[in-house]
Amino acid sequence: MGLFDHFLRDIRSVINRDGEDNAIPPLDGALSPNDRLDACTVIGDPLPGLDDVVAAADGALFVSAGKCVLRLSGDGFASRAVVAEFEGDAGGLAVHPDGRLLVCVAGRGLVALDPARPNPHWLNAVDGQMLAGLTSVAASADGRIFAVEGSSGRPPDAWRRDLMEKRHHGRLIACDASLGSPATLLQGLHYPYGIAIAPNRSELWFTESWAHRISRMALSGSGAGHPIVIQRNLPGYPARLKSDGRGGFYLGLFARRTHLIEFVLKEDDFRQEMIAGMPPDYWIAPAYAGGADCLEPMQIGGVKALGIQKPWAPPRSYGLLVHLDGDGEATDSIHSRAGGRFHGITGACATPQGAVIASRGAGCLLLAPGEF
Protein backbone atom coordinates (compact mmCIF):
# COMPACT_ATOMS: atom_id res chain seq x y z
CA MET A 1 0.00 0.00 0.00
CA GLY A 2 1.44 3.33 -1.07
CA LEU A 3 1.44 6.64 0.77
CA PHE A 4 -1.47 7.96 -1.30
CA ASP A 5 -3.54 4.84 -0.51
CA HIS A 6 -2.91 5.34 3.22
CA PHE A 7 -3.98 8.97 2.88
CA LEU A 8 -7.24 8.07 1.11
CA ARG A 9 -8.04 5.39 3.69
CA ASP A 10 -7.52 7.82 6.57
CA ILE A 11 -9.68 10.47 4.90
CA ARG A 12 -12.51 7.94 4.38
CA SER A 13 -12.32 6.78 8.00
CA VAL A 14 -12.63 10.37 9.26
CA ILE A 15 -15.50 11.31 6.93
CA ASN A 16 -17.44 8.08 7.49
CA ARG A 17 -16.24 7.04 10.93
CA ASP A 18 -19.75 6.15 12.12
CA GLY A 19 -20.72 4.42 8.89
CA GLU A 20 -21.84 0.84 8.58
CA ASP A 21 -18.37 -0.43 7.69
CA ASN A 22 -16.85 1.03 10.87
CA ALA A 23 -19.53 0.81 13.56
CA ILE A 24 -20.13 -2.56 15.23
CA PRO A 25 -23.65 -2.47 16.71
CA PRO A 26 -23.98 -3.11 20.46
CA LEU A 27 -25.65 -6.18 21.87
CA ASP A 28 -28.87 -4.77 23.30
CA GLY A 29 -32.62 -5.28 23.12
CA ALA A 30 -33.37 -8.80 21.90
CA LEU A 31 -29.60 -9.38 21.58
CA SER A 32 -28.75 -8.46 25.19
CA PRO A 33 -25.98 -10.73 26.57
CA ASN A 34 -26.93 -13.59 28.89
CA ASP A 35 -25.65 -17.03 29.87
CA ARG A 36 -28.61 -19.11 28.68
CA LEU A 37 -26.56 -21.09 26.15
CA ASP A 38 -24.29 -22.36 28.93
CA ALA A 39 -27.39 -23.56 30.80
CA CYS A 40 -28.54 -25.77 27.91
CA THR A 41 -28.47 -29.55 28.25
CA VAL A 42 -25.64 -31.37 26.48
CA ILE A 43 -26.85 -34.23 24.26
CA GLY A 44 -24.56 -37.24 24.62
CA ASP A 45 -20.81 -37.32 24.22
CA PRO A 46 -18.90 -34.65 22.24
CA LEU A 47 -18.80 -34.97 18.44
CA PRO A 48 -15.44 -33.79 17.06
CA GLY A 49 -15.90 -31.72 13.92
CA LEU A 50 -19.59 -31.10 14.64
CA ASP A 51 -21.01 -28.77 11.98
CA ASP A 52 -24.77 -28.99 11.37
CA VAL A 53 -27.96 -30.61 12.62
CA VAL A 54 -31.36 -31.14 10.99
CA ALA A 55 -34.55 -32.84 12.19
CA ALA A 56 -35.98 -35.82 10.31
CA ALA A 57 -39.69 -36.40 9.76
CA ASP A 58 -39.76 -39.22 12.34
CA GLY A 59 -38.32 -37.03 15.11
CA ALA A 60 -34.73 -38.26 14.79
CA LEU A 61 -31.76 -35.98 14.11
CA PHE A 62 -29.18 -36.05 11.35
CA VAL A 63 -25.84 -34.60 12.40
CA SER A 64 -22.69 -33.85 10.38
CA ALA A 65 -19.45 -34.32 12.29
CA GLY A 66 -16.06 -34.68 10.65
CA LYS A 67 -16.34 -36.94 7.62
CA CYS A 68 -19.51 -38.65 8.90
CA VAL A 69 -23.24 -38.11 9.04
CA LEU A 70 -24.91 -39.67 12.07
CA ARG A 71 -28.53 -40.39 12.98
CA LEU A 72 -29.52 -39.70 16.57
CA SER A 73 -32.77 -41.14 17.86
CA GLY A 74 -34.52 -42.50 20.91
CA ASP A 75 -35.10 -40.98 24.32
CA GLY A 76 -32.86 -37.93 24.69
CA PHE A 77 -31.34 -38.76 21.26
CA ALA A 78 -29.15 -41.29 23.05
CA SER A 79 -28.95 -43.78 20.16
CA ARG A 80 -26.31 -42.98 17.52
CA ALA A 81 -25.70 -44.64 14.16
CA VAL A 82 -23.43 -43.67 11.27
CA VAL A 83 -25.48 -43.04 8.14
CA ALA A 84 -22.66 -42.25 5.71
CA GLU A 85 -18.95 -41.52 5.62
CA PHE A 86 -17.17 -39.42 2.98
CA GLU A 87 -13.68 -38.55 1.82
CA GLY A 88 -14.19 -34.89 2.77
CA ASP A 89 -15.81 -33.22 5.74
CA ALA A 90 -19.61 -33.33 5.89
CA GLY A 91 -21.20 -29.91 6.34
CA GLY A 92 -24.63 -28.41 5.69
CA LEU A 93 -27.64 -30.75 5.85
CA ALA A 94 -31.25 -30.66 4.66
CA VAL A 95 -34.08 -33.16 4.32
CA HIS A 96 -35.73 -33.13 0.89
CA PRO A 97 -39.57 -33.27 0.72
CA ASP A 98 -39.26 -36.77 -0.78
CA GLY A 99 -37.31 -37.99 2.28
CA ARG A 100 -33.76 -37.94 0.88
CA LEU A 101 -30.96 -36.46 2.98
CA LEU A 102 -28.93 -33.73 1.25
CA VAL A 103 -25.34 -33.33 2.43
CA CYS A 104 -22.67 -30.74 1.53
CA VAL A 105 -19.29 -32.48 1.32
CA ALA A 106 -16.07 -30.46 1.30
CA GLY A 107 -14.04 -30.80 -1.88
CA ARG A 108 -16.65 -33.04 -3.48
CA GLY A 109 -20.01 -31.29 -3.86
CA LEU A 110 -23.61 -32.10 -2.97
CA VAL A 111 -24.86 -35.63 -2.36
CA ALA A 112 -28.41 -36.96 -2.05
CA LEU A 113 -28.72 -40.03 0.17
CA ASP A 114 -31.79 -42.18 -0.49
CA PRO A 115 -32.47 -45.00 1.99
CA ALA A 116 -34.13 -46.97 -0.82
CA ARG A 117 -31.09 -46.81 -3.10
CA PRO A 118 -27.61 -47.99 -2.13
CA ASN A 119 -25.75 -45.67 -4.51
CA PRO A 120 -25.79 -41.95 -3.63
CA HIS A 121 -26.37 -39.33 -6.31
CA TRP A 122 -23.80 -36.50 -6.62
CA LEU A 123 -23.66 -32.96 -7.99
CA ASN A 124 -19.96 -32.13 -8.37
CA ALA A 125 -19.83 -29.00 -10.52
CA VAL A 126 -21.95 -26.09 -11.74
CA ASP A 127 -21.13 -24.03 -14.84
CA GLY A 128 -17.83 -25.86 -15.20
CA GLN A 129 -16.62 -25.02 -11.68
CA MET A 130 -16.17 -27.70 -9.02
CA LEU A 131 -18.28 -27.40 -5.88
CA ALA A 132 -15.40 -27.42 -3.40
CA GLY A 133 -16.82 -25.23 -0.64
CA LEU A 134 -20.57 -25.81 -0.19
CA THR A 135 -21.69 -24.58 3.22
CA SER A 136 -25.48 -25.01 3.29
CA VAL A 137 -28.39 -26.50 1.33
CA ALA A 138 -32.19 -26.19 1.31
CA ALA A 139 -35.05 -27.74 -0.66
CA SER A 140 -38.31 -26.06 -1.65
CA ALA A 141 -41.75 -27.66 -1.54
CA ASP A 142 -41.72 -28.23 -5.31
CA GLY A 143 -38.51 -30.28 -5.02
CA ARG A 144 -35.99 -27.72 -6.26
CA ILE A 145 -32.69 -27.66 -4.40
CA PHE A 146 -30.70 -24.54 -3.52
CA ALA A 147 -27.19 -24.40 -2.06
CA VAL A 148 -24.54 -21.82 -1.26
CA GLU A 149 -20.80 -22.10 -1.74
CA GLY A 150 -18.88 -19.89 0.68
CA SER A 151 -15.93 -19.29 -1.61
CA SER A 152 -15.70 -20.79 -5.07
CA GLY A 153 -12.89 -23.33 -5.36
CA ARG A 154 -11.92 -23.11 -1.69
CA PRO A 155 -12.92 -25.69 1.00
CA PRO A 156 -14.92 -24.52 4.03
CA ASP A 157 -12.03 -25.09 6.45
CA ALA A 158 -10.17 -22.22 4.72
CA TRP A 159 -12.79 -19.69 5.86
CA ARG A 160 -10.34 -17.75 8.03
CA ARG A 161 -7.99 -17.16 5.08
CA ASP A 162 -10.97 -16.14 2.97
CA LEU A 163 -11.89 -13.42 5.47
CA MET A 164 -8.35 -12.13 5.88
CA GLU A 165 -7.90 -11.95 2.10
CA LYS A 166 -11.22 -10.04 1.89
CA ARG A 167 -12.54 -12.28 -0.86
CA HIS A 168 -16.11 -12.27 -2.11
CA HIS A 169 -16.23 -15.24 -4.44
CA GLY A 170 -19.27 -17.00 -3.02
CA ARG A 171 -22.23 -18.15 -5.10
CA LEU A 172 -25.78 -19.40 -4.82
CA ILE A 173 -26.73 -22.33 -7.04
CA ALA A 174 -29.91 -24.20 -7.88
CA CYS A 175 -30.81 -27.54 -9.44
CA ASP A 176 -33.85 -29.75 -9.86
CA ALA A 177 -34.88 -32.57 -7.55
CA SER A 178 -32.68 -35.08 -9.38
CA LEU A 179 -29.61 -32.79 -9.02
CA GLY A 180 -29.89 -32.08 -12.75
CA SER A 181 -29.97 -28.78 -14.66
CA PRO A 182 -27.67 -26.96 -12.20
CA ALA A 183 -27.27 -23.20 -12.58
CA THR A 184 -25.64 -20.30 -10.75
CA LEU A 185 -28.25 -17.80 -9.56
CA LEU A 186 -25.92 -15.34 -7.78
CA GLN A 187 -22.16 -14.94 -7.62
CA GLY A 188 -19.68 -12.53 -6.08
CA LEU A 189 -21.27 -13.06 -2.64
CA HIS A 190 -19.40 -12.30 0.62
CA TYR A 191 -19.11 -15.86 1.94
CA PRO A 192 -22.72 -17.08 1.94
CA TYR A 193 -22.99 -19.50 4.86
CA GLY A 194 -26.68 -20.25 5.42
CA ILE A 195 -29.73 -20.70 3.22
CA ALA A 196 -33.38 -21.47 4.02
CA ILE A 197 -36.82 -21.50 2.45
CA ALA A 198 -39.15 -18.98 4.11
CA PRO A 199 -42.25 -20.31 5.90
CA ASN A 200 -44.43 -18.77 3.17
CA ARG A 201 -42.53 -21.01 0.68
CA SER A 202 -42.27 -18.11 -1.77
CA GLU A 203 -38.91 -16.68 -0.66
CA LEU A 204 -35.33 -17.84 -0.31
CA TRP A 205 -33.27 -16.39 2.56
CA PHE A 206 -29.48 -16.51 2.79
CA THR A 207 -26.69 -15.09 4.95
CA GLU A 208 -23.36 -13.50 3.98
CA SER A 209 -20.80 -13.80 6.75
CA TRP A 210 -18.21 -11.25 5.63
CA ALA A 211 -20.91 -8.67 4.80
CA HIS A 212 -22.69 -9.33 8.14
CA ARG A 213 -26.11 -9.43 6.52
CA ILE A 214 -29.19 -11.47 5.67
CA SER A 215 -30.95 -11.21 2.31
CA ARG A 216 -34.05 -12.68 0.72
CA MET A 217 -35.21 -13.21 -2.83
CA ALA A 218 -38.54 -14.21 -4.30
CA LEU A 219 -38.93 -17.69 -5.76
CA SER A 220 -40.77 -18.27 -9.00
CA GLY A 221 -41.33 -21.22 -11.27
CA SER A 222 -38.49 -20.10 -13.54
CA GLY A 223 -35.93 -19.24 -10.87
CA ALA A 224 -35.46 -16.48 -8.31
CA GLY A 225 -35.75 -12.70 -8.15
CA HIS A 226 -33.35 -9.95 -7.17
CA PRO A 227 -31.97 -10.19 -3.60
CA ILE A 228 -33.14 -7.67 -0.99
CA VAL A 229 -31.16 -7.06 2.21
CA ILE A 230 -33.40 -7.42 5.27
CA GLN A 231 -30.77 -7.36 8.06
CA ARG A 232 -27.46 -5.54 7.70
CA ASN A 233 -24.51 -4.76 9.96
CA LEU A 234 -25.05 -7.69 12.31
CA PRO A 235 -22.83 -7.78 15.44
CA GLY A 236 -21.28 -11.09 14.40
CA TYR A 237 -20.61 -13.38 11.46
CA PRO A 238 -23.90 -15.10 10.51
CA ALA A 239 -23.83 -18.85 9.88
CA ARG A 240 -26.84 -21.04 9.05
CA LEU A 241 -30.55 -20.26 9.01
CA LYS A 242 -33.15 -22.89 9.90
CA SER A 243 -36.91 -22.71 10.33
CA ASP A 244 -38.17 -22.69 13.91
CA GLY A 245 -41.41 -24.42 12.86
CA ARG A 246 -43.48 -21.43 14.01
CA GLY A 247 -43.01 -19.00 11.12
CA GLY A 248 -39.57 -17.72 12.14
CA PHE A 249 -35.92 -18.74 11.98
CA TYR A 250 -32.98 -19.77 14.11
CA LEU A 251 -29.81 -17.88 13.12
CA GLY A 252 -26.42 -18.97 14.41
CA LEU A 253 -23.60 -16.41 14.60
CA PHE A 254 -20.37 -18.38 14.73
CA ALA A 255 -18.26 -15.50 16.11
CA ARG A 256 -18.55 -11.91 17.30
CA ARG A 257 -17.11 -8.98 15.41
CA THR A 258 -14.49 -7.05 17.39
CA HIS A 259 -12.84 -3.68 16.92
CA LEU A 260 -9.41 -5.31 16.79
CA ILE A 261 -10.36 -7.62 13.92
CA GLU A 262 -12.10 -4.78 12.07
CA PHE A 263 -8.92 -2.73 12.46
CA VAL A 264 -6.72 -5.55 11.14
CA LEU A 265 -8.99 -5.92 8.10
CA LYS A 266 -8.21 -2.28 7.21
CA GLU A 267 -4.43 -2.61 7.69
CA ASP A 268 -3.48 -4.32 4.43
CA ASP A 269 0.29 -4.34 4.94
CA PHE A 270 0.08 -5.85 8.42
CA ARG A 271 -2.55 -8.39 7.37
CA GLN A 272 -0.58 -9.58 4.35
CA GLU A 273 2.54 -10.03 6.47
CA MET A 274 0.51 -11.93 9.08
CA ILE A 275 -0.92 -14.26 6.41
CA ALA A 276 2.50 -14.90 4.90
CA GLY A 277 4.41 -15.49 8.13
CA MET A 278 2.07 -17.08 10.70
CA PRO A 279 -0.07 -20.23 10.98
CA PRO A 280 -3.79 -19.43 10.54
CA ASP A 281 -4.63 -20.57 14.10
CA TYR A 282 -2.58 -17.67 15.46
CA TRP A 283 -3.91 -14.91 13.22
CA ILE A 284 -5.84 -12.01 14.67
CA ALA A 285 -9.10 -13.40 13.32
CA PRO A 286 -12.36 -14.94 14.57
CA ALA A 287 -12.35 -18.49 15.91
CA TYR A 288 -14.90 -21.18 16.69
CA ALA A 289 -13.25 -21.65 20.09
CA GLY A 290 -10.40 -20.02 21.94
CA GLY A 291 -8.32 -20.16 25.07
CA ALA A 292 -6.79 -23.61 24.58
CA ASP A 293 -3.41 -22.44 23.24
CA CYS A 294 -1.07 -20.01 24.98
CA LEU A 295 0.15 -18.75 21.58
CA GLU A 296 -3.27 -17.41 20.54
CA PRO A 297 -3.53 -13.63 20.08
CA MET A 298 -5.12 -11.90 23.05
CA GLN A 299 -6.23 -8.45 24.07
CA ILE A 300 -5.29 -7.32 27.56
CA GLY A 301 -8.96 -7.31 28.59
CA GLY A 302 -9.14 -11.03 27.88
CA VAL A 303 -6.44 -12.01 30.36
CA LYS A 304 -7.75 -14.23 33.15
CA ALA A 305 -7.76 -12.75 36.63
CA LEU A 306 -7.88 -15.18 39.56
CA GLY A 307 -8.50 -17.97 37.06
CA ILE A 308 -11.58 -16.30 35.59
CA GLN A 309 -12.10 -14.64 32.23
CA LYS A 310 -14.58 -11.81 32.61
CA PRO A 311 -17.78 -12.26 30.55
CA TRP A 312 -17.38 -8.75 29.09
CA ALA A 313 -13.80 -9.43 27.93
CA PRO A 314 -12.99 -8.88 24.22
CA PRO A 315 -14.00 -12.28 22.77
CA ARG A 316 -11.81 -14.33 20.47
CA SER A 317 -14.75 -16.75 20.26
CA TYR A 318 -18.39 -16.44 21.29
CA GLY A 319 -21.65 -18.40 21.32
CA LEU A 320 -24.78 -16.74 19.96
CA LEU A 321 -28.06 -18.10 18.61
CA VAL A 322 -30.72 -15.58 17.56
CA HIS A 323 -34.42 -16.12 16.98
CA LEU A 324 -35.84 -14.14 14.05
CA ASP A 325 -39.49 -13.54 13.27
CA GLY A 326 -40.96 -13.89 9.78
CA ASP A 327 -39.79 -10.38 8.88
CA GLY A 328 -36.19 -11.01 9.92
CA GLU A 329 -36.35 -9.03 13.17
CA ALA A 330 -34.58 -10.45 16.22
CA THR A 331 -37.02 -11.39 18.99
CA ASP A 332 -34.75 -13.32 21.40
CA SER A 333 -31.22 -14.65 21.74
CA ILE A 334 -29.19 -17.03 23.89
CA HIS A 335 -25.49 -16.49 24.53
CA SER A 336 -22.30 -18.09 25.76
CA ARG A 337 -20.06 -15.13 26.53
CA ALA A 338 -16.28 -14.86 26.71
CA GLY A 339 -15.19 -17.50 29.19
CA GLY A 340 -18.28 -19.60 28.43
CA ARG A 341 -18.29 -23.20 27.24
CA PHE A 342 -20.34 -23.35 24.05
CA HIS A 343 -18.98 -21.15 21.29
CA GLY A 344 -19.04 -21.26 17.50
CA ILE A 345 -22.77 -21.84 16.86
CA THR A 346 -23.07 -23.04 13.26
CA GLY A 347 -26.57 -24.50 13.18
CA ALA A 348 -29.81 -25.23 15.05
CA CYS A 349 -33.12 -26.91 14.36
CA ALA A 350 -36.55 -27.22 15.94
CA THR A 351 -37.72 -30.49 17.52
CA PRO A 352 -40.71 -31.41 19.72
CA GLN A 353 -38.30 -31.45 22.69
CA GLY A 354 -36.95 -27.96 21.99
CA ALA A 355 -34.26 -26.33 19.88
CA VAL A 356 -31.21 -28.51 19.18
CA ILE A 357 -28.06 -26.43 18.71
CA ALA A 358 -24.68 -27.28 17.16
CA SER A 359 -21.73 -25.75 19.01
CA ARG A 360 -18.80 -26.34 16.70
CA GLY A 361 -16.36 -24.73 19.11
CA ALA A 362 -17.19 -27.22 21.85
CA GLY A 363 -18.09 -30.12 19.54
CA CYS A 364 -21.36 -30.52 21.46
CA LEU A 365 -25.04 -30.78 20.63
CA LEU A 366 -27.20 -28.76 23.02
CA LEU A 367 -30.90 -28.88 23.84
CA ALA A 368 -32.72 -25.67 24.74
CA PRO A 369 -36.04 -26.94 26.13
CA GLY A 370 -39.28 -25.07 25.59
CA GLU A 371 -39.98 -22.44 22.96
CA PHE A 372 -37.13 -20.19 21.99
Q: What is the pLDDT of residues 73-91, one digit of tens each?
A: 999 899 999 999 999 999 9
Q: What is the Cα–Cα distance from 340 to 35, expressed in whole angstroms?
A: 8
% residues pLDDT > 90 (the chain): 80
pLDDT at 321 over 60: yes
Model confidence band, residue 274 (pLDDT cutoffs 50, 70, 90): very high
Q: What is the pLDDT of residues 190-214, one digit of tens each?
A: 999 999 999 988 999 999 999 999 9
DSSP-assigned states of every residue in 2-71:
-HHHHHHHHHHHHHTTTSTTTPPPP--GGG---STTTTSEEESS--TTEEEEEE-TTS-EEEEETTEEEE
3 state DSSP class of 232: coil
Q: What is the pLDDT of residues 220-250, one digit of tens each?
A: 766 678 999 999 999 999 999 999 999 999 9
pLDDT at 348 over 60: yes
Model confidence band, residue 304 (pLDDT cutoffs 50, 70, 90): low
Q: What is the pLDDT of residues 9-67, one digit of tens each?
A: 566 555 555 455 558 999 999 999 999 999 999 999 999 999 999 999 999 999 999 99
Q: Considering only CA atoms, which of 38, 52, 76, 10 is closest in space to residue 136?
A: 52
pLDDT in the model for residue 285: 95
Assess contact for 350 and 358: CB atoms under 8 A: no
